[in-house]
Structure formats: structure tokens, C-alpha cells
Structure 1
Amino acid sequence: MNVDLSALHWIYLGFILLIIGFMVKRRDTSLICIMGIFLLAIVATGDFTSSISSVFNSFVYAISELLSTILIISIIVAMSRILMKTGINEVMVSPFTKIIKNATLAYWTIGILMMVISWFFWPSPAVALLGAVLLPVAIRAGLPALGVAMAMNLFGHGIALSSDIILQGAPKLTADAAGIPVSDVITASIPLVLVMGAVTTIVAFILLRRDMKQGRLEMEGTFDREKKIDAVNERLLTKGQRKFFAVLIPIAFLLDVVGMFVFDLTGGDATALVGGTTVFILLLLALFAHKNEGLEKTTSYLIEGFQFGFKVFGPVIPIAAFFYLGDSGFGAIIGDFLPAESLGIVNDLGNALAGIVPITGEIAAVTLTTVGAITGLDGSGFSGITLAGSIAQEFDFFNYWFLDIIKASQH
């Protein structure tokens, strides 16, 4: 059923275009999203006071929707802090240093290891866990520091974060905005991530080798920075204890993955399993490492983790708050001010657009690709994930186009 577009629909659409425009200019969009929420509220209610309250309520709604994702990232970071402080990360990574014999092996070994660890720890903590140990080894093998950075970012922030199959933080943002299950986004993204990952990593490696042969990349400023980790990290565990935990932690997370398949856990259930495992590992390490101070140190690590989590999601919350208004969030935040036959602002706009332009998978794919490129101009497309999901819902994209991709990938 088509709904006559009201002022609310046009305001919402206008602010989507404004957000895209500001992203093209590489400017922050938080202010635009907040103004959009306020304007939608005041037009809907006609009440200045409740409109101001709606801005705050929209933040509360967005945080409540994103809370599981924020928590899992925060807890993972908290655990990564104690891994680095105790030196367990060095022991976990040390077997792979023996593989790195030349620049080629350094690039692919660091990249693949970064991808796997990022699936469990997220890319930012994974960089800290790997960088200090593997960078000096890679440089000795002949890979410049820039090559190490390329491998870690392409495999970590690129492949691992694009798929995010374990923690499911990034796909949850898209799924919530598109109004579909997280598992659908993850499954449908597999062929896209595979193609993207293969193209970017191989092309980057070829260009890197070309520049190395032409002498454009120098190896300076690296060996003098190499320091013994023993002098940097505070040793709180014995060598035997570090080896024990270096084996225990990967096994614990691998058992989580097995549990996901055996018990068919996806979305929030899968995230909760990983999160609970991480909390117990954090507690165990804090008690072993800090002994009598373990209780207090546990809180300190958690505080560090929460600081990181809200720092990462700080820019995302206002954007997510605005785009939640396009779906079920409108009634929860502002109230029942849309027409009774309305399916939500985004769905109404999608139906109206379908009546004007033939909505095909090809048009939707090109549109979303363009939006993805625009939102990634600032070096991180994370803040634009919600925008992409909202536009996908508007095109009714996931209902049939991703289904076609899934079917094609199965043959």
C-alpha cells in the first residue's frame, strides 16, 4: 500500500542527502543528524520541549540497540590490554615469526594472522597485539614498515571488519538499519568480501613489490626502534604461565566457534558467547597476574575497554539515532505521528521510489557501491554503515538482490 508522502518523509530524505553531501566533503555528520532528529520531532509533535527531549531519547534508543556491540568491543579491548601487559601476546605470536623468512612471507603471514585475530579481537586491538612483535621481524625479512601497515589494514580493517563473522559488530549496524537479521547480512556478504579481499590484497602486494624493486621504499627508521619487549612490558607472569595462557586463550575462542556451529548460535547469541568467554579470561588473567590487586585491576582494565568502546562508537550513535527514526524507532522515540497505513519512513520512501523508477538489483548495487565509496572517503566507512543499511532497506535491496547472490554462490 502506497502512502502519500508527508513533510516528515521529505525532511528525512533531505537530511539523507545532506549527510551524503557532508561525507563527500569529508566533514563530520553528527550535527546534521542531531538537527534532523530535532526537525523531524518538532514537525511531528509541534512541541518545542518534547522535540528537545526526542534528541536525547534518540541517543538512548540508539545506545540500547548498539549496546551489545559496544560491550563486546569494550570487553575485548580490556582483555587485549592485559595480554599486552603480561606479554602473553608475544608468546601467542612468536611461532609465526619463524615463518617470516622474506618480504613475501612477511606480507602474507602478517596479513592472514591479522585477519584471524581481528575476527576475535577486532582490528584496532589486534594491531597493538601484533605490531610490536611482528614489525621488527618483518623489517629484518626485508618488508618495509609501510608494507606491514598495508597488510595489517587490508586484512584487518578491510577483510576482517567487512565480514566480522565472530563478533558481528559491523554487520549488526547494517542489519538493524535495513531491518533484517544479522545472519542474512553476513551470509550475503561472503562473495563480496572474498572478491574485495582477493583484489585489494593481491593488487597491493604487486604494487608494493614494484616499489621495492624500484627503490621507492626505504628501510630506515625501524631497527633503531626495535626494543626488547622485556624492557617495555611489565612481567607479571612466569614463562610457563604465559605459555599456558597463550595456548588456553585460542582454544577457548575456537571452542566458541565450534559451539556456534553445534548449537546454531548467530547474532546476539554468538556475540554473548564470545563476550562471556572474554570476561572469564580477563578475570582469570587479572587474578593470576596481579594476585592481591586482581580485583581492583580487573575494574581498571574494564574502564580502559569502555573508554575505547565509547570513543569508537561516539560518532556512530548520533548517526544511528537519526537512521533508526526511519524504521521502528520513530514511534519509540517521537511517538505515533505517522499515518496509520505507514510502514515506516524508509519503507514509504522505497514504495514511492519504486513507483517512479524501476528498482532493480543492478540499480541498487550501483547506488550502494557509490554510497560506500563516499562514506569511506574519510579513511573509515564505519560511520556510514548505518546509512548504507538504511538505503538498502529503501531499495528493498536485501529482500531479493542479496538472495540472488546467495543462490549464485551456492551453485
Structure 2
Amino acid sequence: MELTLVHYMYLFIIILIIIAISMKQDITILCILGLGIIGFIITLNPIKSLIVIYKGITVSGKEFIDTIIIISLINAMSKSLSDIGVDEIMIAPITKLIKSKTLAFFILGITMTITSWFLWPTPAVVFMGSIMVPAAIRAGLPRIWIASVLCLFGKGAALSSDFVIQGSPSITAKTAGVEDTLTIVKASLPFWGTMCFSAIVTAFILMKKYRKEIMDNSYKEIAETRNTVFNSKAKIVSKLVIILFITDILGMFLFKLKGDDATSLIGGTAILILLIASLAKNTFLEALSYMANLVKEGFVFGIKVFAPIILIGAFFFLGSEATAKEILGENATGILTDIVLYVSNKIPISKFAVVTIQGIISTMLGISGSGFGGLPLVGTLANTFGNSAHLSVEKLAAFGQIITIWIGGGTVIPWSVAPVAAICQVDSFEIARRNLIPVAVGVFATFILGFLII
């Protein structure tokens, strides 16, 4: 295949977006203009290019709607629990354990990783948000670093490995022609360990470096313990919350729920807890309006967070074939996928070239925000390159998987960190900027390891 004006323009706009992000500027306008320009180049019709812009936004909205709903409901649930003092009861034991910023960093991170292996990161963020985040804040860890920890340990370390549910390695294995998923898991261990160690240690060093920031942004309004008198209703509700979420975990295990199903179970539980907390605080008649108001506030919060994310995502969904077809029509292909395939066909085959191409392609797929969507291409290329150059298909596939998920799964792409941003109440772009150096260091170290052991 050959690249066309559409491909070159798409790359040019991505470069402009990267420059804007590096300058700490909002990229919403660039994404909308880019979507319209691509639409005009393809249709040569200004009216149809406007239609493309709207279709892109609606497709993006459909992709994010589940996350918007779960975040909105969790926000409403958290407020209802806070109103009756349940949050204070639940975080008391954790607060005793987390005594410093360092302990908060690692205890929060390790807990997030383990929880994400069983729930997947988005449900895990939701599950932990109202319990451990306040405890970490009280220990002196600023919200922005809490968000960074949740992303690096959950969306990075846990999702890229996916040792328990094995969604990531199974997709990679199938498209790479590897029959045993466990083979990909074993092959990924050195890459995973290198990536995690490099990124997390770098993030920790940076966190310790920002001492002035930590002192200046101590969030005293949260760090000061409320003088809450725990009544019997609050204690009962707190026990019910723990029981219900433990039941969710068991249910996910027994019924093998993952991904959207796991998130839906957490969402349904959040609604039930919201109902219980509303009735515990109010009479039945008062609870009717009380719960409705909390739900309204929750959705206002969710839409406020995701409104720019939907517009930005509309442009990047042109990169993947499935969503590009919805936006541009059935004849469309994934623009970024086309670019990746073109590059892979132009560079001569050798070990150095194969590892470089696989790494660059995996990075590009991650930057596009593909995450899981990029794994089929990663696996396919590993199979093609590995057999052609007589290299380990398993190692090549695992190498690509770790990089793609670490970048695109939700660490440095602003719209993919939105759930964490919503839970921690910080800006998505600030989280992405904070994670950029640690993830870049991790990717560089993983590249070096790839050259040595593949």
C-alpha cells in the first residue's frame, strides 16, 4: 500500500498535538479542526466534512459512555457515604497503616496492582477511589501523585501483564499464532519487570524531588480529620459496603466476569449502596429527592470531566479501523494502522530492524490510545517478523504487548486516564504530563532489553 494525503495530514496533526501537549496547551480545537480537515480531504465536500465532525463526536461519546456512567454513579455514591460518615469509618484502618508519603505511594500502588489483576484497572479505580485515596491524601501525598500511582500501577503494571484474567496475553497469543497463552505470559516477565521497575522508580524519585509541591499542596481541607460521630446506621452501612464489594470480587471469580461485565457489576453495586445510604440518612420521602439530587450532581461531574475528552477522542478514533468505519464510512481503514503497515513493509528485515519496528509500532499504537485495540496488530506483526527473521515470536509479541498497553492503556494518553482523573479530581492532561518521563524511561529500558534478549 501507499500513503496518501490523508495519512500525511493525520501524522502532521498528531505532531501538532504532541507539540501543544508539551507546551501545556489544550488540544480540543486541534482535534476538531483535524477531524474536519481529514473529513474534507476524504469527501471533498465541506457539508460532509461537518457531518464527519459530528459523527466522530457521537462515536467517541458511545465509546466513553460506559465510563461516564460508572464514574458519575460512583461520585454520587461517594457523596452519599461521606454525608453519613461512612468514608471515615472505612479508611480508619488504612490511615493507621499509611504513615508517610513513601508508604502511601507503595501501599496504594501495590494494592492497586493486585486489585487490578482481579478486577481490571477501571473497576479497581472505582473500587478503591473512595477508600484509599483519602487515606493517601491524609498521609501527605498530593492528588496528582495519587493519580499517577493509580495509573502506573493499575493501567500500566497490572493491565500490561494481566496475569489473572489474561485478557491481554490471550489476544496477543491468538493473533501471534501462539496456542498457549501462558507462553506469552512467561515471555513477558522480563519486559514487564524492566518496564515496571524503571517507570515506578523514576516516578518515585520525581515524587520525592517535588518536596515544595507536596508542602504547598497538602489539601488541608481533607487532611484534617472530621469530628464525625459514628452512629449505628453509618457503622452498619460501612459493613454492608465492604460485604457487597467482597461479594463482587467473589462473583467475578466464580462467574468469570471481566472488562465491561466487571465494571457493570461494580456500577450496579454503587447504585445499591447509594440507595441504602440515602435511606439511612433520610426518611423514605426525603430519600426520593435526596438520591435524585446526588445522581444529578454525579452526572454533572462526569460530563464536566469527559466533555473535552469526547471531542479529543473523536480525532484519534480515526486511527483504528473499526471506529474509522463508523465515522468515515464502510470503505474507511484505520489511518494509523495503514501508516504502521506501510513503515513495516519499507524497512529491511534484521534483528535490530525487527525489534525497532515492533517497538516503534507498539509505541505508535499506544499513542493513538488503542490500548487493547492495538494488540491484534502487535501479535500479527510478531508472527510475521518473528518467522521471517527466525526470532522468538513469543518474546517479540510480549515485547510489543508491554509497550502498547503501558502507553495506550491509560498512563500518558489524556483521555485514557480520565477515570483516574475523575476519581482523584485532577486534570487528565496534568496526569499524562506527570507520567510522561517515568513511562518514557521505562520504554527506553524495555527497548534495550529487547535488543539483548529477543
Confirm or deny: 8 A CA contact 1:211 1:217 kept in the other structure: yes
**Corresponding residue to 2:347 among 348, 352, 357:** 357
Q: What corresponds to 2:368 in structure 1?
A: 387
Q: Hey, what does 1:319 align to over in structure 2? A: 312
CA gap of 1:44–1:98, structure 2 versus 1, over 3 A, is closer
Contact 1:253/1:277, CA 8 A, preserved across alignment: yes
Q: Which 5+ residue runs of structure 1 have no aligned equivalent?
A: 139-144, 169-173, 373-384
Is the alpha carbon distance of 1:88 and 1:156 closer, same or farther for their aligned partners in structure 2, counting shifts above 3 Å? same
Q: Cα–Cα, structure 1 residues 20 and 219, in superposed 2: closer, same or farther, change >3 Å?
A: closer
Q: Could you say if the C-alpha distance between residues 276 and 347 of structure 1 is closer, same or farther in structure 2, counting changes exceeding 3 Å?
A: same
CA contact (8 A) 1:287 1:294 kept: yes
Distance 1:47 1:18 in 2: 24
Instruction: Tell me the equivalent position of 1:300.
Output: 293
1:331/1:337 contact within 8 Å kept: yes
The 1:81–1:395 alpha-carbon spacing in structure 2 relative to 1, beyond 3 Å, is same
Query: Are 2:80 and 2:277, in contact at CA under 8 Å, matched by a contact in 1?
Result: yes
2:227 counterpart residue number:
230
Relative to the length of structure 2, the TM-score reads 0.63
Residue of structure 2 equivalent to 1:247:
239
The 8 Å contact of residues 91 and 243 in structure 1, kept in 2 or not, is answered as yes
Are residues 89 and 11 of structure 1, via their aligned partners in 2, closer, same or farther at CA, if it must alter by over 3 Å? same
In the alignment, is the contact (CA less than 8 A) between 1:260 and 1:266 conserved in 2?
yes
When residues 319 and 240 of structure 1 are mapped into structure 2, their CA distance, relative to the original with a 3 A threshold, is same
SS in 1 for 2:370: helix
| Aligned pair partner of 2:265 in 268, 273, 281 | 273
**Which consecutive unaligned segments of at least 5 residues does structure 2 have?**
163-167, 176-180, 383-392, 402-454
The two structures, once aligned, show a CA RMSD in angstroms of: 4.6
Q: State percent identity of aligned pairs.
A: 27
Change (3 A) 1:257 1:191: farther
Residue number in structure 1 paired with 2:254: 262
8 Å CA contact 1:163–1:190 kept in 2: the answer is: no
Structure 2 SS opposite 1:230: coil
For 1:94 and 1:79, the matched residues in 2 are separated by 19
Deviation track 1:127-177 (CA, whole Å, cap 9, x = no partner) reads 7755666655x4xxxxxx3x5668634433432344676xx9xxxxx9xxx
Q: Pick from 45, 69, 72: which aligns with 1:71?
A: 69
Question: Is contact 2:43–2:49 with CA below 8 Å preserved after alignment?
Answer: yes
Change (3 A) 1:203 1:13: closer
Aligned residue number for residue 378 of structure 2: 397
Single out whichever of 78-87 and 387-396 deviates more from structure 2.
Answer: 387-396
Deviations 1:51-76 (A, max 9, x none): 21221221111101211111111111
* Correspondence 1:89 to 2:83: no
Structure 1 counterpart of 2:66, which letter?
S
* Aligned counterpart for 2:154 among listed residues 124, 149, 160: 160
* Cα contact 1:328–1:344 (8 A) shared by 2: yes
Secondary structure in 2 aligned to 1:396?
A: helix
| More helix as a share of residues | 2
Find the aligned partners of 1:299 and 1:164 in 2 and give their Cα distance.
36
What amino acid sits opposite 1:316 in the alignment?
Answer: I
